[in-house]
Amino acid sequence: MATRRKKNRLAATASSILLFGILTSLLGCEQTDNRQVVTLWHQMVPRERVVLDRLIAKFEATHPDIRIRALYKETEELRSGFQAAALAGIGPELVYGPSDVLGAFHSMRIIQDMSPWVPEQFEENFLKEALTYLPGPTDSQQRVLVQIPDRFGNHLALVYNRNFIAVPPKTTDDLIRLGIANTIDADHDGRNERYGLVWNFAEPFFMIPFLTGHGGWVFDDSGKPVPALDTPECVAALQMVVALRDKYKIVPRSCDYETADSLFKSGKAAMIINGDWIWTDYLETQGIDAVVAPLPVVSSTGKPMAPMVSPKGYSLNAFASTKGASAAMQFVLMMTSEKTQREFMQEVRILPSRKALLQDPALSADPTLLASKQQLGNGRMMPVETELRAVWDAMRPHYQSLLGGNLSAEQAAQAMQKDALRGIELLNRKSTEAPAAWAWQLTGILLIASLVVWQRQSIADFFPDIRRQPFAYLLIAPALATIFLTVVFPFGYNVALSLSDMSLTNFQDWKIVGLRNYVEVLSEAKFFFILLKTLVWTLVNVAFHVGIGVMLAIAINGPIRGKTIYRILLIIPWAVPAYITALTWRSMFHFDYGAVNLLAGNLLGIDPINWWNDPGPAFAACIVANVWLGYPFMMVIALGGLQGIPGELYEAAKIDGATRWQQFRNVTLPLLKPVLAPAVTLGAIWTFNNLNVIWLVSNGGEPADKTHILVSYVYKAVFNLYRYGYGSALSMVIFAILLVASLISLQRSKATENVYG
């Protein structure tokens, strides 16, 4: 026995040495490279990344002491990620993207003035509005250069398929006429084979040309960012969008970005409104003959439909090291040079930010670039003010309600204006209360002290108990230490934030202001409604997960053929990444083309449902998708649990004359309970906090922000309006709700106790 124990110990030592070796190899990616690394987070589309990679290689060849590390980040990820990373001091030196985030980055003071690095007369070479200057933080006369653009545009235009349309529409009356002629249902099955016009009409950015065509704009002409949405112009624009769909019936009843894109690419739409980032894709798509043209003039006003235009370019991290910043700026100057911009212009058909290139022969030789330039000519500059964010946020839900037929154009415009004003107020709120940090520190110390006093008996017994049964403590220590390392700091940080005034205006110099955020969370009527919805979401999902999972486990756990095949097929929803299956579920609920409506129609003769028009069906669709994602996991757990049930118990039950149902009720269930309990408890917590599925399936809360559960609501509050304090407080409330709920359920189920004990 003793020698064997020794052997075991040897084996344990050897394996821990091995593990240590692997760990050190994981840590030490030895850097033999002494070059200055410049990290760039960019938002270039795949086609542009090819050019970017080539230019980086060229730059590194001519600058042997610099290495460029380019990482693609999705729009929202770049924005929220950069804020956090910059503050933590590990942000990238450079961020690349459209100018609409600059106002926020500048307010947060996480980007810096680039003018010290640019050569003399640099400004004259660029288009007037392409270089973005913002007033200094202390001196409003100072001009801070916050972005150097490598392009100008990012605008919408009309793309038409020449197979169907010979001459593009000049006016909206033309557009409607062409649209009607090209909306075709040849077999009269109620589903069109071709639509006249498609575009992403669920998104307000795509509505701007209709607004400008009717003489309106998102802000009024006071020069300050005051929203102007409750205007006759805005109402007329909204009415026109609805009329295109409901009166002239030339656009699909339900059409998000991907639907519009697919319809146009597959020749099932004659015209599409889309941006310069995608035109080359259309030109190169087989089977269609795409041509870009400027948007038409609105017939009733005689004004052109003007899209928003903005520069895209590079901004410099305020916390970059001196060496890093100077290396980064060398790269930026190369990337915004005339030569580079010409390459991008020719290869991906985007307009340059330098004046000289607009007269370049390469531009006039390309009909797409010419049309683009013409469209740019009547475009309107996208405001860089952060207030625009509040405007988009206010427009989206009411715009979607209007499209869902739940609001009139007048009501929608009114509601948009009201919410935009409120959003702007929230964005710009400065904290006025005097900070009483010491009071809060004192409260914290008192809380901890009272906890110690309350648990004094346990603490006193703790060390003797370690000596009494060291084995138990030794076994649990590794798990606790790992978790402790990663959990304690983030949690403490959030407690602090939830008591603070951290927001757009107090991003770096936030201070403790007390319970204000909690009062705000709990005094909002919406909170309780969303909480109720979250509870329904959790209960329904978990009930189906467990019910289906246990049923499948029992079905598969008998003497049947094909177990392996069934097991593989049933595990699939868990195996395939949710970030794509959630999207396929969304498309399966599409009004015209979704499998759910088609199958229900063909097999059961049910009329198609417009899932994303009303909150009820939309929420149900999200639940269906999440149930599908979750039952395989419960099945696996239940399968494992069934193995632990001794066969003798069933034998005994049979001898006692128990029916199958009684066997299930009295043997299977009670013995499955200890194994299922952790999965059910944690499953409920994960479902309660499941952001991804709701977000992906409902496309961020469609319709009209009515599918939100608490976490997606937090996400919106924090990342759309930069309300960090409020978001943290809401997270703490979520935490408290879950804590209380689990305490109650643990108390009742005694899941922490041994089943045989």
Partner 1 sequence: MDKPTEPRSISLLRHAVLLVFAAISVYPVLTVVSISLRPGNQLQSTDLSIIPEGWSFDSYRELLFEQPFLLWLGNSILVSALVTLTGVAMAAIGGYALSRFKFIGRQSTMLALLTTQMFPATMLLLPLYILIAKLHLVNTFLGLMIFYVSTALPFCVWQMKGFYDTIPTSLEEAARIDGCSQLEAFTKVILPIAVPGLVITALFSFMTAWSEYLVAAQVLQESELFTLPLGIKSFQASMSTQWGLYAAASILVSLPVVVVFLALSKFLVSGMTLGAVKE
Q: What DSSP assignment string belongs to 367-410?
A: HHHHHHHHHHHT-EEPP-STHHHHHHHHHHHHHHHHHTTSS-HH
Instruction: Please give the Cα distance from 95 to 162 (Å, whole number).
Output: 39
Which residue lies nearer to partner 1 by CB, 425 or 579? 579
Which residue lies nearer to partner 1 by CB, 8 or 364? 8
Which residue lies nearer to partner 1 by CB, 118 or 531? 531
Which residue lies nearer to partner 1 by CB, 361 or 464? 464
Amino acid making up residue 75? T
- Phi first, then psi: give them for residue 310, nearest 5 degrees: -155, 155
The answer to whether the CB of 610 falls within 8 A of the CB of 593 is no
Which residue lies nearer to partner 1 by CB, 61 or 476? 476
Which residue lies nearer to partner 1 by CB, 440 or 574? 574
Q: What angle do CA 512, 85, 491 make, to 5 degrees?
A: 45
Q: Closest distance between partner 1 and the C-beta of residue 561, in Å?
A: 8
Long-range contacts of 741-749 (CB under 8 A, 24+ apart): 741/684, 742/681, 742/685, 745/681, 746/681, 749/673, 749/677
Q: Closest distance between partner 1 and the C-beta of residue 178, in Å?
A: 21
Q: Closest distance between partner 1 and the C-beta of residue 60, in Å?
A: 15
Instruction: Please give the Cα distance from 470 to 481 (Å, whole number).
Output: 16
Q: Closest distance between partner 1 and the C-beta of residue 496, in Å?
A: 10
Indicate the angle between helix axes 46-62 and 322-335, nearest 10 degrees: 120
Q: Closest distance between partner 1 and the C-beta of residue 727, in Å?
A: 6
Q: Closest distance between partner 1 and the C-beta of residue 108, in Å?
A: 12
Q: Closest distance between partner 1 and the C-beta of residue 222, in Å?
A: 32
Nearest to 230 by CA among 390, 418, 405, 391: 418
Which residue lies nearer to partner 1 by CB, 365 or 543? 543
Q: Closest distance between partner 1 and the C-beta of residue 263, in Å?
A: 7
Which residue lies nearer to partner 1 by CB, 236 or 553? 553
- Phi first, then psi: give them for residue 271, nearest 5 degrees: -140, 150
Q: What DSSP assignment string belongs to 300-332?
A: TT--B---EEEEEEEEEETT--HHHHHHHHHHH
Nearest to 127 by CA among 372, 328, 377, 330: 377
| 3-class secondary-structure state, position 252 | coil
Instruction: Please give the Cα distance from 660 to 644 (Å, whole number).
Output: 19
Q: Closest distance between partner 1 and the C-beta of residue 398, in Å?
A: 23
Nearest to 727 by CA among 742, 735, 736, 717: 717
Which residue lies nearer to partner 1 by CB, 119 or 464? 464
